[in-house]
Amino acid sequence: MNKNSKTTKKSSKHRSKVHPFNRPKRNHANININNNGKKIVKFIENNSDADDENDDYEFVHHQNTKTELKEKANKLLSIRKTLPVYQNKNEIMKYLTENQVTVLIGETGSGKSTQIPQFLLNFFQENKIRGSIAVTQPRRVAAINLATRVASEYGCNIGSYVGYSVRFDNTTSSTTKLKYLTDGMLLRELMMNPTLKEYNTIIIDEAHERTVLTDIILGFLKSLIHKSRPDLKIIVMSATLQAEKFSQFFDNAPILFVEGRKFNVTQYYLKAPSDDIVDSVIRSCVQINQGEQMGDILCFLPGQEEIDKAVTILNKISEIIHKETSVPLMIAYPLYAALPPAKQALVFNRVKGFKRKVIFSTNIAETSVTISGVKFVVDSGLRKVKVWRHQLGLATLLTVPISKASAMQRCGRAGRESEGKCYRLYRTNDYKKLPDQTEPEIARSNVTSPVLMLKKYGVQDIINWTWFENPGKEAIIMGLQELYQLGALDDFGKITKRGEQMSLLPIQPHLSSVLIKASECNCLSEVIDIVSCLSVENLLLNPQPEERDEVNERRLSLCNSGRHYGDLIMLKELFDIYFYDLGKDVASSVERQDWCKELCISYRGFKNVVKIREQLRTYCKWLFDSNSKTFSKKIKKNSINTNIGEDKEDDFYSTPFLNKKFSEDKDKIESILKCFLTGFTKNIAIGMPDRSYRTVTTGETVSVHPSSLLFLNKACPAIMYTEYVFTTKGYARNVSRIELSWLQEIVTNGHAVVKEKVAS
DNA sequence: ACAGGGTGT
């Protein structure tokens, strides 16, 4: 149909409508083209208070001319040459070219993630070796930043020889030879293209972090080199330690050590253990502020509660101390993932004058967020960890001591720019007793999704698969049972058509199953909207205690149906207001931001919801539309190589409110909730006479989480929830009201789990 | 009668 498909694809990326005469009042970028044809982005100064979410950011990649590229690359070359990896280039390359698998231990600042891929790229081009290089990263920003940096070092525009691929943003093209991608993305590619035939080298970076997805990739790679890809080169890159485990897994692959380039950090320990960690952290900050040179302080605390407390206390005492003694004024900032993005951004502000920035952070600052100017680290030695209990179908959130590796990583945050100091709020002996490594995530996770991937890939014996870390028989069997119950596996444990569909959807299996059910129940469009909201973490933010009641009141008054049916229906009502009522053009973005702020909703979160919704609508159309070509053909052509599918409000989806307004359409609401019941049959609790709820699976008591719209509504016959987390007690999150008669329907449809428990 | 560590498709 179109010979011009390449340009069509490219342009679809920037499809968003721009109304030049209706520009938003604030927070916008003004893009001019100067006489070189070079894009210039000027940021207009934010004229409002710094409190709103300035997150209309997009990654703008400048298209430079050849001469500009070359000049820039030449300038960067002198810096590259100082990197330890560059100085050992020949020896490293000797190992990499002579071995199929190499484990490379490079400390921070060694330049491994940027230089090694370039060495290989040059080597392959000089030797006319075909194929491209993939470098995986656990996080999106890392993939984007590395690709951008390497492109300029290499002297090309992003997307030509060097590109990146993360969800919703793909800058690769047919000429791309070096691709930085998230490990989630590489797994998607593996599902579509089981032999990874376009690559000759796969580099797994940050392997020491041991995320579930990295571990799974390692398992796939081992199978690949032993079977269909004996030619595939693999490099496992890790920041110190664990080298032996990687090496042994890949048949004793050689290990290379490259020293890093970082500054010395002196460690201090407590003489006596601390009994109040917030108090100890504050005391340390005050002490540093009195005795040490200028430089900011980064404090690691386990969670939001401790952080908010510490911020309040420090800000109170800091001014008093500053007035009475002539020490810098300390300014405290909180940092955790659930914080609104605009408040998160404040930790990057440089404080001017005789002041010292003090950041109280969760583990987010250990790997995901890097703050410059930090010279002192205060380490509580604690973190929070989510542990999945297979038998209970419940996650527990525990505060636990960190590992030695984690303590070193936290320490390192003080030595990025100059020498630093690290104050550990535990004794030398306590440190010695810490485990060397953090327990790999897969050992404490629900593995339903990995198991589905393996089934989709055609793995027969999952228990004895080439697991890098076997999650254990119990976990695998629970995963298989879940999948069987969701209809993804048949009586013989073989993947069903439904299971294939579930594995192709970019959401957790339970939600995939709900979507498929919805496609059979004429409420797909609505369920996609809700599932999209559920797929964004921290969409509904926690209001500050003083505005909590107000915000809850506003949410309740907006969501007429949510008030009765619960959080899933509330999400749909909120989505409809955001998406349909508030308007879509650039001019109304301010209106939408204000609306989000009033309801304590993340504006950035909702923008993500819209993207996910668009992706899900496209995928569902390909999956369920009988007129459509096969999914994998479509997705290979479109999804991997472009950004988002070509969804328009087309006739595959019925117009949502043709006849009735959603909130008045009782039948629709009930069929939506019944769809969710089929994916979350285990997450049902029955109302008891004493107004508590008991789960149908184990009879445990479960409470409605205070963030739920149903928190104050005490009289539901039964509830269904998408998450069951034990913190101070067992809490149900994303709660919906369920009628007992609906459960009867599920029972008659043959869901044994509910049948037994309801009867007993 | 009152609260969630961090990633990814």
Give tens-digit pLDDT for A367-388.
Answer: 999 999 999 999 999 999 999 9
**Does nucleic acid strand B have an atom less than 7 angstroms from the CB of A167?**
yes
- The torsion region of residue A757 among left (phi > 0), alpha (psi -120 to 50) and beta comes to alpha
**Does nucleic acid strand B have an atom less than 7 angstroms from the CB of A357?**
no
> Is this prediction's pTM over 0.85?
yes
Query: Is 50 exceeded by the pLDDT of residue A55?
Result: no
Distance in Å from B6's C1' to A733's CA comes to 18
Q: Closest residue to B3 by CA to C1' distance?
A: A706
**Does nucleic acid strand B have an atom less than 7 angstroms from the CB of A692?**
no
**Does nucleic acid strand B have an atom less than 7 angstroms from the CB of A723?**
yes
Contact (Cβ atoms closer than 8 angstroms) between residue A239 and residue A109 = no
Q: What is the pLDDT of residue A57?
A: 47
Query: Is 60 exceeded by the pLDDT of residue A13?
Result: no
- Cα A479 to Cα A118: distance, rounded to the nearest angstrom: 40
Q: Which residues of A217-238 are buried (b: 16+ CB within 10 A; e: fewer)?
A: bbbbbbbbbeeebeebbbbbbb
Distance in Å from B3's C1' to A251's CA comes to 48
Distance in Å from B3's C1' to A484's CA comes to 34
- Cα A608 to Cα A96: distance, rounded to the nearest angstrom: 40
Q: Closest residue to B1 by CA to C1' distance?
A: A712
**CB within 7 A of strand B (chain A, 474-533):** 506-508
Return the minimum-mean-pLDDT range out of A176-180, A257-261, A420-424, A444-448. A257-261
**Does nucleic acid strand B have an atom less than 7 angstroms from the CB of A210?**
no
Confidence of residue A8 (pLDDT cuts 50, 70, 90): very low
- Beta-strand ranges (E) seen in A507-550 are none
C1' nearest to CA of A507: which nucleotide? Answer: B9
* Number of CB atoms found within 10 A of residue A171's CB: 24
- Cα A297 to Cα A358: distance, rounded to the nearest angstrom: 5
pLDDT single digits (tens) A742-751? 998 876 654 4
3-state secondary structure of A93: helix
Q: What is the pLDDT of residue A74?
A: 87
Look-up: residue for tokens 């969409």? A539
Distance in Å from B4's C1' to A566's CA comes to 19
Phi, psi of A341 (to 5 degrees): -50, -35
pLDDT single digits (tens) A533-575? 999 999 999 888 888 889 999 999 999 999 999 999 999 999 9
Q: Closest residue to B8 by CA to C1' distance?
A: A184
Confidence of residue A632 (pLDDT cuts 50, 70, 90): low
pLDDT single digits (tens) A265-281? 999 999 999 999 999 99
**Does nucleic acid strand B have an atom less than 7 angstroms from the CB of A537?**
yes
Strands A132-137 and A29-33: unpaired
- Residue A385: strand pairing partners: A398
Distance in Å from B1's C1' to A688's CA comes to 17
- Residue A329: strand pairing partners: A355
Query: Is 90 exceeded by the pLDDT of residue A453?
Result: yes
Distance in Å from B5's C1' to A627's CA comes to 45
C1' nearest to CA of A508: which nucleotide? Answer: B9
Distance in Å from B4's C1' to A231's CA comes to 45
- Taking CA atoms, A420 is separated from A48, A208, A266, A653, in Å, by 37, 24, 6, 58
Query: Is 80 exceeded by the pLDDT of residue A42?
Result: no
* A253 contact partners, CB below 8 Å, separation of at least 6: A99, A100, A101, A102, A103, A236, A246, A247
Mean pLDDT estimate for chain A:
86
pLDDT single digits (tens) A656-686? 544 467 878 999 999 999 999 999 999 999 9
Q: What is the pLDDT of residue A239?
A: 86
**Does nucleic acid strand B have an atom less than 7 angstroms from the CB of A712?**
yes
Distance in Å from B8's C1' to A136's CA comes to 12
C1' nearest to CA of A386: which nucleotide? Answer: B5
Q: Where are the alpha helices (DSSP H) in A392-523?
A: 404-412, 428-433, 448-457, 473-485, 497-504, 509-520
DSSP letter (8 states) at residue A144: H
Torsion of CA A64, A65, A68, A69, to 10 degrees: 70
- Taking CA atoms, A275 is separated from A185, A294, A375, A731, in Å, by 44, 29, 26, 28
Contact (Cβ atoms closer than 8 angstroms) between residue A487 and residue A498 = yes
**CB within 7 A of strand B (chain A, 358-417):** 362-364, 368-369, 383-386, 395, 397
**Does nucleic acid strand B have an atom less than 7 angstroms from the CB of A140?**
yes
Q: Closest residue to B2 by CA to C1' distance?
A: A706
**CB within 7 A of strand B (chain A, 432-461):** 441, 449
Distance in Å from B7's C1' to A659's CA comes to 42
Residue A324, class by beta-carbon neighbours within 10 Å (0-12 exposed, 13-18 middle, 19+ buried)? Answer: exposed
**Does nucleic acid strand B have an atom less than 7 angstroms from the CB of A466?**
no
Q: What is the pLDDT of residue A37?
A: 31
* A377 contact partners, CB below 8 Å, separation of at least 6: A265, A297, A298, A299, A300, A410, A411, A413, A414, A420, A421, A422, A423
DSSP letter (8 states) at residue A708: S
Six-digit token string for A279: 């108090």
Distance in Å from B4's C1' to A183's CA comes to 25
**Does nucleic acid strand B have an atom less than 7 angstroms from the CB of A138?**
yes
Q: Closest residue to B9 by CA to C1' distance?
A: A506
**Does nucleic acid strand B have an atom less than 7 angstroms from the CB of A751?**
no
* Strand B bases contacted by the protein (CB, 7 Å): 1-9
**CB within 7 A of strand B (chain A, 42-101):** none
Q: Closest residue to B5 by CA to C1' distance?
A: A384
- Cα A288 to Cα A318: distance, rounded to the nearest angstrom: 12
3-state secondary structure of A275: coil
Contact (Cβ atoms closer than 8 angstroms) between residue A268 and residue A422 = yes
Strands A684-687 and A693-695: antiparallel
Strands A718-726 and A730-738: antiparallel
* A741 contact partners, CB below 8 Å, separation of at least 6: none
3-state secondary structure of A437: coil
Distance in Å from B6's C1' to A583's CA comes to 34
Distance in Å from B2's C1' to A706's CA comes to 6
Contact (Cβ atoms closer than 8 angstroms) between residue A681 and residue A673 = no
Phi, psi of A445 (to 5 degrees): -120, 160
Six-digit token string for A356: 């010292």
C1' nearest to CA of A189: which nucleotide? Answer: B9
Contact (Cβ atoms closer than 8 angstroms) between residue A143 and residue A181 = yes
pLDDT single digits (tens) A682-737? 999 999 988 889 999 999 999 999 999 999 887 899 999 999 999 999 999 999 99
C1' nearest to CA of A691: which nucleotide? Answer: B1
